[in-house]
Copies of this chain bind each other. A is one copy, B any other.
Amino acid sequence: MAMAEITVAPLGTGSPSVSKYVAECHKVLQQTEGIKFQLTAMGTIIEGDLDKIFDTIKRLHEVPFDAGAQRVMTIVRLDDRRDKEISIEGKVRSVEDKL
């Protein structure tokens, strides 16, 4: 299990609002089996098998194009740890336990 944060930003859409595109991405995520996901104010965090994460990133990157965008900047940060299992809740808890 790995984790990724993805932010999909369409450029040149004429409006500074991007929530419409993010909502479309989340419709795709809701129909994707085998991953957990969490919306944050700065992107979406995905937890799952590494191949599944890459497939999901590819699909989300297409979403703004399907909605009419001509240019998309997709920002991904992948966190992959192989000495122990990581999870969205586990990583947050690990910090909170130290506070």
Q: Which residues of A contact B (CB under 8 A)?
A: 3, 5, 7, 9-20, 22-23, 26-27, 30, 38-43, 45, 47, 50, 54, 57-58, 61, 65, 69-83, 87-89, 91-92, 94-96, 98-99
- A78 contacts B61, C-beta separation under 8 Å: yes
Q: Which residues of B contact A39 (CB under 8 A)?
A: 92, 95-96
Give the nearest-CB partner of A44 in chain B. B95
Q: Is the Cβ of A19 less than 8 Å from the Cβ of B75? A: no
Residues of B with C-beta under 8 A to A94: 17, 19
Set of chain B residues within 8 Å of A17, measured between Cβ atoms: 12, 94
Known A-B contacts A17-B12, A82-B70, A95-B23; A77 and B45 likewise in contact (beta carbons under 8 Å): no
